[in-house]
Structure 1
Amino acid sequence: MRIKDLVVLIGIIGIVLMMVVPVPIWLLDVLLIINISIALMIILVGMNTQDALEFSIFPSLLLITTLFRLALNVSTTRNILANAEAGNVVKTFGSFVAQGNIVVGFVVFIILVLVQFIVITKGSERVAEVAARFTLDAMPGKQMSIDADLNAGLINEQQAKERREKISKEADFYGAMDGASKFVKGDAIAGIIILIINILGGLIIGMTMKGMSISEAGQIYSILTIGDGLVSQIPALLISTAAGLIVTRASSEGNLAHDLTSQILSYPKLLYIVAGTITVLGIFTPIHLATTLPIAAVLAFAARKMQQNLVRKQAQVDLLEEEQQIEEVRSPESVISLLQVDPIEFEFGYGLIPLADTQQGGDLLDRIILIRRQCALELGLVVPVIRIRDNIQLKPNEYVIKIKGNMVARGELLLNHYLAMSPGIEDDSITGIDTLEPAFGLPALWIDEAVKERAELSGYTVVDPPSVVATHLTEVIKRHAHELLGRQETRSLIENVKESYPALVDDLIPNVLTIGDVQKVLVKLLREKISIRDLVTILESLADYGTYTKDPEILTEYVRQALSRQITQQFASTGDSLKVITVGPMLEKKIAESVQQSDQGSYLALDPSSTQMIYQRLSDQVTKLIQSGQQPVVLTSPTIRMYLRQLLERTMQDIPVLSYSELEPNVEIQSMGVVNL
C-alpha cells in the first residue's frame, strides 16, 4: 500500500478516535486550523473546475469533512465542559466576534447557521436533486446519440466508450451529491443542538462543580460556545458554498473567475449606466456624494478600460482571421474549394443591385423562393439553391444565368422602366427603347412611368423589371431542368416516396433497376417538359416493365403512356380539342425502316436529304400553326415517337412530340396539317 493511501486511512481512523479519546488543547488548535484550511482549499478547487466531473470525489469528501467537523465539535465540547477551556482558536473566535457582547455573538452565530441551512444547503440540495433526475432521464437519448455517431463513423469505439463512461459518471455524481447534501443539513442542525448543550451544560457544571456564579459561568461558557460554533460553522459554510458552486455550474471552457469576467463584464456600456445611477443616488438622496462619487468613478474607469480591451481583442481577432485567410489561400488545399460548381447562378451588374437589396426594396430573393415552389409543383423537381452574386465584369444593367458554371441565358434591364409587349396591333403613341423580351424572344419596348398607363389601355402587356427577371429565370430552369437532376437528387426523391410507399421502392430498387436507370428515365421526361411529380406512377411503370427491358428510351415510352392523363391535361385543357400536326404514313414508314440496332440500343439513321426534307415540311406546318395563335404539337404513332423526337431534338427542341397512346380517349384531336414525304 502506498504512503498516501496509508495517510488517508490513518486520517479517517484518527477522526473516529477523536470522538472517544480526549485531544490535547494544543493539538485541537492545530486540527481546527487544518479544518479551516481544508474548507478554503475545497471552495477554491470548486471555483476553478470547468466541469463537475473534474471534482467527482466531492460527495465523499463532503462526508469526510462533515465527520471531521463533528469530531472536532465533540472534542471541543469535552474540553469546554470538563476544563472550561478549548484552546486559543476557539477563544479567539468567540472573543473577537462577540466583542464583549454575548448577545451579538449569539446573533452572529445563529445568522451563519440559518444562512448555511436555509439558503445555501437547501438550494444546493434542490439543484443536485433536479440535476440527478434530468441526467437520468437524458441518459437513453445520449446513449442513442453516441450509437448514431459511432455508426456514422464520426467517432471511433474508444471515443464512444469514453462518452458512455462520462454519462454514467455524471449520473452517479449528481445522485451522490443529492445524498451528500443531507450531511451538510444535518451538520447545521447538530451545530444548533451542540450550542444549546454547551450553554446549559456549562452553566450546570460551572455553578455546581466549579463554584462559579451564574454570571461568571455564563460569561465563560458563552464565549467558548460561540467560538466553538463559529470555528465549526465557518468551514461548513465554505464547503456548502463549494457544493453549490459545483452543482450549479454548467460545462464551460474556463473556471469561475474566467466565466465571471468574460460573461458578466462583457458589457462596458452597462457599467456606465450603473455609474450614472450611483451618481444620481448621491445627488438626490441623503447619501452624500463623497460616498457614491468614488464608486461611480471606479465603475466608469473600469467600463472605459473594458471597452478599450474589447476593441483591442476584436482587432486581434480580425487580424487573426485575415492571417488565416491568407494562409488558406497559400495552402495547397485551398484550390479544392474552387472545384465546387454551383448548380444555378444568377449574376448581375452593379446597376441591378437594388433588385436583390432588401433595404432598397428589392424582392428578388422572395421571388426566387416562389420560383422554386412553382418548379416543385409543375415539374416535381426540387430546384437547388440559386447562388446570387454581383459581377463587375458585366455591364451595369446586364445579368446572366449559369447552369453548372456555364452561361445559358443573358438579359438586360432598365430598372426605372417597364417592359411593354404589343398585342399584335401597334400603337404609334407608345414610344420607348426597342428590345427583346428575354424569356421568349418577343419584340418589346422599354417604356417609362408616364407611358405605362396609356400602354395598358392600348392592350399592351406591361411588366416591371423584377417580374421580367423572374419569368426569364423560371423558363431557363424549366428548359434545363433535366441538367439539374443527378443521381443524388434522384435518390432524395425516391427516399421521399419510400416514406409512404416502402414496398414499391424496395421492389424496384435495386432488384429491377438501379438509381442510375431511374435517373435516366426522369431526365428524359424533364427534357420534354413532362412533370415527374407523380413519381409513384412513374416507379410503378418502371417496376412493371423493368423486368423486360433496361433500355431507358423504351422505359420512358412506357412511363409516358402511364402518364397519359397528365400529358393530355398538359397539352389540351378539359373540354377543349387538341390541334396537332400529324405524321403521314409514308414518313412513319420511312422512319421505321431507318431504325438501326446496336449494342447500346436502337437509333435513327436517316440520309441527309430525307432529314432536310422532314425539317422543311415540318417547319412550314409549325409556322402556319403559330401564325394562327395555336401551340404546335406533333402527333405520331407510338412505335416511332421516340425516333422522331431524336430527329427534332436539336432544331425543334420546344416542339412537343406525342403519340396516340399518350392521349386520353375522350380528347378530341383536330389535325391542322400533315407532314409526309
Structure 2
Amino acid sequence: MPVKRMSQLGVPIGVVAIVVMLVVPLPAAVLDLLIALNITIALLVLMVSMFVHRPLDFSAFPALLLVLTLFRLALNVSATRLVLLDGFAGKVIDTFGHFVVGGSLIVGLIVFAILLVIQFVVITNGAGRVAEVGARFTLDAMPGKQMAIDADLNSGLIDEDQARTRRAEVHAEADFYGAMDGASKFVKGDAIAAIIITLVNLIGGFAVGVGQMGMPMGEAVTTYSLLSVGDGLVSQIPALLLSVATGLIVTRSTNDRDMGSDIIRQIMANPMPLRVAGFGALALCLIPGLPKLPFILGGGLMLVASARAGAAQEAATEQEQTEQAQIAAATDTPELLAAEIQVDPLGLELSGDLIDLVDPRSGGDLLDRVKSLRRKIATDLGIVAPPVRTRDNLQLPSQTYAIMLFGIEVARGEAPPGTVLAIGDFLGSLSGQPTREPVFGLDAKWIPAELRSQAELSGATVVDRASVITTHLAEVVTQHAAQLLGREDVRMLVDVVKRTHPVVVEELTPTQLTLGEIQRVLQELLSENVAIRDLVRIFEALSLRATRTKELDPLVEAARQALSGAIAAPYLVDKALHVLTLDPQLEQQILETLRAGEHGMTVALDPESSHQMITNLAQLSANVENQNIRPVLVCAPQLRAPLRRLVGPIVPRLAVLSYQELIGAEQIRSEGVVTVDAHLAVSA
C-alpha cells in the first residue's frame, strides 16, 4: 500500500480501534504494548511542541489531543476490566504499583494525588486560560490584520498571491486558537475522569476481592489498591506530558527559532543576571547546616555561564566597533565624497521619534514597503521610479516625515508613534489628534493603537503609520512622475521595447526622433496622469506623426489618440463618463485667441475672461466632486493641450480630454457648462 494511502487510512483505523477497545477485552500482553505506545506518543508530542517555530506549524495538535485523550481513556477502561476480573492487568501496571511506589499504598496514593494537582490545578488551568484569552484576542484582531493586508496590497508591498496567503494564515490562526480553547477542556475533563476511574477501581476492587474472590479485607485492599494506583500512575504520566505540551503550544510566541534556542539565547544575552544568581547561590553556603556541595555546584555553573556570556558580549562589541571604525575610515574616500554630493531624485526623511518605523527589531517594515512601492509604480504608470533614499533628520519636528524631490521638500506629514490613522465621518467618540488624510484630504484622526478595534467597529477605516507614509509617497511620485523620468530611464524603456519589437524602435529612433524628444512626449503624458505602459502603441503613433512634424503638441496628441481607451477608462463609472463642457461661444472665443508659444499653443484670453472662466470651472468641478463624482473637461482636439496648460495649475485634479478620447464610454453625462458671464448653467 502506498505511503500516502497508509497515512490517509491510519488515523481513521486507529480511532475505530480505540472505540473497539472500549467494549472488547484485551489480553494483558496487548495492554502492556498499548500502554508503552501511549507513553511514547505523548513524549513525541511534547518534543514536537518544543521544537516548532510557531504554533501554526503544529496546527493538527487540537485534533491529535482529542484522539490521544480518547486512547488513554480506552486504556483505562481495558485496565479496569482486567483488574476487576483477573486481579492482574499486565506487567507495566503491576510494576508501577509495586516497584515505582515501593509497594506502599499510601505512597502510591500521595504520588498519584501530587500528579493530579500538578496537571489539573497548575498546568491544565493555566493552559486553558491562555488558550481562552488567545482565542479572544486573535478573533478581536482579525479585522485589523485584514486591513493591514489590504493596506500592504494597495501600497504595493505584496501581490495578490501573497495577500491571499496572508489572509489564509489569519483565518488559520483564528481557527487554531479557537480549537485550542476547546482542546484545553479535553485535558481538564481527562484529569477529572482519572480521579473518578481511580476511585471506582479502589471501591470496585475491594468489593470484588472481598465479595467474589473471598479474600481477607487486608489482602483485598493491598492487591486491588496497588493495581488501581499503578493504573492511575500509568495513565497520568502521558496525560501530564500532553498537558505540558498543551501549555507550551498556547504560550509559544511566533519566532524563527525553536523554544530551546530562544531560552538559551535570551538567558545568555546579559551576563549580569547570571553573575548575581551565581554569587547568591554561593552566599547560601554561609548558612549553618546547609549542604555546601549542591550550592557550590549550582553557583559555579552560573558563574561559568556568566563568564561565557560576557566573553560573547565583548566579542560582539569589538566586532561592532571594528565595523564602525572601518566605515569611519572609508567615509573620506573620493568615491564616497562624490556620492555624498549627488542629489537623490527621491528621498524620505524621518524625525528622530519615527526611527522605529525602519527598525526591524521593533517591527518596523517601512523600508520594505518603500522598496516594493517601485513595483506598484511601474505597474500603474509604466516607469521605473528611482530608489528612495531614507534617512533620519533631527531638524524635523517630532512625529514628522518629509518627502524630498531632487533635494527639495515637496510634501510633509505626521505619524505620531503609538497611533494609527482612523479615517471616517464619525470619529468624535474616539480620543486622538484630529488631522487630514494626506492624499485626499479626508477628515481623519490619529488615535491610540489600542483603540483600533473600537474605531473599526464604528465604521472607520484604520491605517497604520507605515501605510500612511507609503501611500503619501506613492501620491507624490505620481504627481511628479514627469520630473522623475530621466534620459537614462527613457533609454532603458526603449531598450526593453526593442527586445520584443525591434522594428518599431529602429523606425522611430534615432532617424525620426531623438531620445530627448521622446522623453518630452512621455513627460507630457505623465504630467497629465496618463500611464505610458503601452510603449509599443505610443512609439508607433509617434513614428507616424513624426514624418510630418516634430512639434511637441501634435506628437503628444498622436500618442494620446493611440491610448484614448486607456485615458478615459479611469474616469468611467458603470461605463458612464461625467463631463464638463465649455459654452460654445466661449469655446469659439478660445479658438480665436490661440497663439503659438515656446512650449506650444497657448490661450490668450483677456485677463478678466480668463480669471472668470477658471474660477467658474474650479467651482463647478468642486461641486461635482462633492457628489463623489470625478468629472473631466471635454473640448475640441485643437483646444485640449492649450486649455490644459491654462487650467492645470489652478485645477490640477481635473483631466482635460478631447472629443476623440471618449472611447469606451457608453453614456456621456453632462454635469455642467462653463460660461464667462459669471453664471453656471448646470444640466438637470
- Using structure 1 for the length normalisation, give the TM-score: 0.51
Is the CA contact (8 Å cut-off) linking 2:84 and 2:208 kept in structure 1?
yes
Q: Which residue of 2 aligns with 1:479?
A: none
Asked if 1:98 is matched to 2:101, the reply is: yes
Q: Which amino acid aligns with 1:66?
A: T
RMSD: 4.5
Asked if 1:196 is matched to 2:199, the reply is: yes
Q: Which amino acid aligns with 2:301?
A: V
Give 3-state SS (helix, strand or coil) of 1:230's partner.
helix
Q: Which residue of 2 aligns with 1:34?
A: 37
Q: Distance in 2 between matches of 1:28 and 1:323?
A: 69
Q: Distance in 2 between matches of 1:42 and 1:149?
A: 37
Q: Which amino acid aligns with 2:194?
A: G
Q: Paired residue for 2:174, among 167, 171, 176?
A: 171
Q: Distance in 1 between matches of 2:35 and 2:393?
A: 74
- Which deviates the most, 104-113 or 88-97? 88-97
| Superposed CA offset, 1:514-564 (max 9, x none) | 979xx9xxxxxxxxxxxxxxxxxxxxxxxxxxx99989xx89xx9xxxxxx
Go from structure 1 to structure 2 and tell me whether the alpha carbon gap of 1:343 and 1:133 turns closer, same or farther (over 3 Å shift): closer
Is the CA contact (8 Å cut-off) linking 2:194 and 2:232 kept in structure 1?
yes
Is the CA contact (8 Å cut-off) linking 1:98 and 1:223 kept in structure 2?
no
**What is the deviation of 1:485?**
6.0
Q: Distance in 2 between matches of 1:92 and 1:324?
A: 69
Is the CA contact (8 Å cut-off) linking 1:132 and 1:171 kept in structure 2?
yes
Is the CA contact (8 Å cut-off) linking 2:52 and 2:259 kept in structure 1?
yes
| Superposed CA offset, 1:253-297 (max 9, x none) | 201101100112322121111111112221145324333222211
Asked if 1:184 is matched to 2:221, the reply is: no
Q: Paired residue for 1:248, among 243, 251, 263?
A: 251
Q: Which residue of 2 aligns with 1:540?
A: none
Q: Which residue of 1 aligns with 2:211?
A: 208
Identity of aligned residues (%): 42
Q: Which residue of 1 aligns with 2:451?
A: none
Q: Distance in 1 between matches of 2:345 and 2:163?
A: 37
Q: Distance in 2 between matches of 1:335 and 1:367?
A: 24
**What is the deviation of 1:339?**
3.2
**What is the deviation of 1:176?**
0.6
**What is the deviation of 1:322?**
8.4
Go from structure 1 to structure 2 and tell me whether the alpha carbon gap of 1:320 and 1:205 turns closer, same or farther (over 3 Å shift): farther
Is the CA contact (8 Å cut-off) linking 1:203 and 1:221 kept in structure 2?
yes
Q: Paired residue for 1:132, among 131, 135, 145?
A: 135
Asked if 1:72 is matched to 2:75, the reply is: yes
Go from structure 1 to structure 2 and tell me whether the alpha carbon gap of 1:73 and 1:153 turns closer, same or farther (over 3 Å shift): same
Is the CA contact (8 Å cut-off) linking 1:282 and 1:291 kept in structure 2?
no
Q: Distance in 2 between matches of 1:321 and 1:232?
A: 60
| Superposed CA offset, 1:297-350 (max 9, x none) | 1211121122223333455566778899999999x9998776345999xxxxxx
Q: Distance in 1 between matches of 2:56 and 2:9?
A: 25
Q: Which residue of 2 aligns with 1:414?
A: none
Is the CA contact (8 Å cut-off) linking 2:343 and 2:406 kept in structure 1?
no
Q: Which amino acid aligns with 1:51?
A: R
Q: Which residue of 2 aligns with 1:16?
A: 19
Give 3-state SS (helix, strand or coil) of 2:268's partner.
helix
Q: Which amino acid aligns with 2:293?
A: A
Is the CA contact (8 Å cut-off) linking 1:46 and 1:242 kept in structure 2?
yes
Alignment of 1:258-407 (within 5 A): 258-315=261-318, 339-340=342-343
Q: Distance in 1 between matches of 2:123 and 2:194?
A: 16
Q: Distance in 2 between matches of 1:323 and 1:20?
A: 76
Is the CA contact (8 Å cut-off) linking 2:402 and 2:412 kept in structure 1?
no
Is the CA contact (8 Å cut-off) linking 2:116 and 2:191 kept in structure 1?
yes
Q: Which amino acid aligns with 1:77?
A: T
Go from structure 1 to structure 2 and tell me whether the alpha carbon gap of 1:29 and 1:326 turns closer, same or farther (over 3 Å shift): farther
Go from structure 1 to structure 2 and tell me whether the alpha carbon gap of 1:284 and 1:168 turns closer, same or farther (over 3 Å shift): same
Q: Distance in 2 between matches of 1:383 and 1:181?
A: 47
Go from structure 1 to structure 2 and tell me whether the alpha carbon gap of 1:213 and 1:308 turns closer, same or farther (over 3 Å shift): same
| Superposed CA offset, 1:356-379 (max 9, x none) | xxxxxxxxx99967xx89xxxxxx
Q: Distance in 2 between matches of 1:515 and 1:204?
A: 91
**What is the deviation of 1:95?**
1.5
Query: Number of residues paired by the alignment?
Result: 393
Go from structure 1 to structure 2 and tell me whether the alpha carbon gap of 1:17 and 1:282 turns closer, same or farther (over 3 Å shift): same
Q: Which residue of 2 aligns with 1:222?
A: 225
Go from structure 1 to structure 2 and tell me whether the alpha carbon gap of 1:211 and 1:130 turns closer, same or farther (over 3 Å shift): same
Gaps of 5+ in 1: 345-364, 374-381, 387-402, 406-483, 502-513, 520-546, 559-599, 602-677
Q: Which amino acid aligns with 1:172?
A: D
Larger radius of gyration between Structure 1 and Structure 2: 1
Alignment of 1:580-595 (within 5 A): none
Q: Distance in 1 between matches of 2:305 and 2:182?
A: 43
Go from structure 1 to structure 2 and tell me whether the alpha carbon gap of 1:148 and 1:95 turns closer, same or farther (over 3 Å shift): same
Go from structure 1 to structure 2 and tell me whether the alpha carbon gap of 1:185 and 1:333 turns closer, same or farther (over 3 Å shift): farther
Q: Which residue of 1 aligns with 2:47?
A: 44
Go from structure 1 to structure 2 and tell me whether the alpha carbon gap of 1:206 and 1:131 turns closer, same or farther (over 3 Å shift): same
Q: Which residue of 1 aligns with 2:125?
A: 122
Q: Distance in 2 between matches of 1:493 and 1:113?
A: 60
Q: Which residue of 1 aligns with 2:62?
A: 59
**What is the deviation of 1:500?**
7.3
Q: Distance in 1 between matches of 2:71 and 2:14?
A: 10
| Superposed CA offset, 1:104-154 (max 9, x none) | 110110111121111111111111111111111111111111111111111
Go from structure 1 to structure 2 and tell me whether the alpha carbon gap of 1:485 and 1:299 turns closer, same or farther (over 3 Å shift): closer
Give 3-state SS (helix, strand or coil) of 2:215's partner.
coil
Is the CA contact (8 Å cut-off) linking 2:198 and 2:228 kept in structure 1?
yes
Q: Which amino acid aligns with 2:254?
A: S
Q: Distance in 1 between matches of 2:401 and 2:201?
A: 84
Q: Distance in 1 between matches of 2:24 and 2:394?
A: 88
Q: Which amino acid aligns with 2:290?
A: I
Q: Distance in 2 between matches of 1:61 and 1:40?
A: 13
Go from structure 1 to structure 2 and tell me whether the alpha carbon gap of 1:338 and 1:256 turns closer, same or farther (over 3 Å shift): farther
Give 3-state SS (helix, strand or coil) of 2:53's partner.
coil
Q: Distance in 2 between matches of 1:515 and 1:29?
A: 77
**What is the deviation of 1:498?**
4.0
Q: Which amino acid aligns with 1:197?
A: V
| Superposed CA offset, 1:215-272 (max 9, x none) | 1111111111111001101100100110110011110120110110011232212111
Is the CA contact (8 Å cut-off) linking 2:210 and 2:217 kept in structure 1?
yes
Q: Distance in 2 between matches of 1:159 and 1:119?
A: 41
Go from structure 1 to structure 2 and tell me whether the alpha carbon gap of 1:366 and 1:227 turns closer, same or farther (over 3 Å shift): closer
Give 3-state SS (helix, strand or coil) of 1:266's partner.
coil
Q: Which amino acid aligns with 2:245?
A: A
Go from structure 1 to structure 2 and tell me whether the alpha carbon gap of 1:11 and 1:339 turns closer, same or farther (over 3 Å shift): same
Q: Distance in 2 between matches of 1:334 and 1:166?
A: 47
Go from structure 1 to structure 2 and tell me whether the alpha carbon gap of 1:155 and 1:216 turns closer, same or farther (over 3 Å shift): same
- Which deviates the most, 320-329 or 26-35? 320-329
Q: Paired residue for 2:160, among 154, 157, 161?
A: 157
- Using structure 2 for the length normalisation, give the TM-score: 0.51
Q: Which amino acid aligns with 1:100?
A: G
- Which deviates the most, 92-101 or 271-280? 92-101
Go from structure 1 to structure 2 and tell me whether the alpha carbon gap of 1:515 and 1:293 turns closer, same or farther (over 3 Å shift): closer
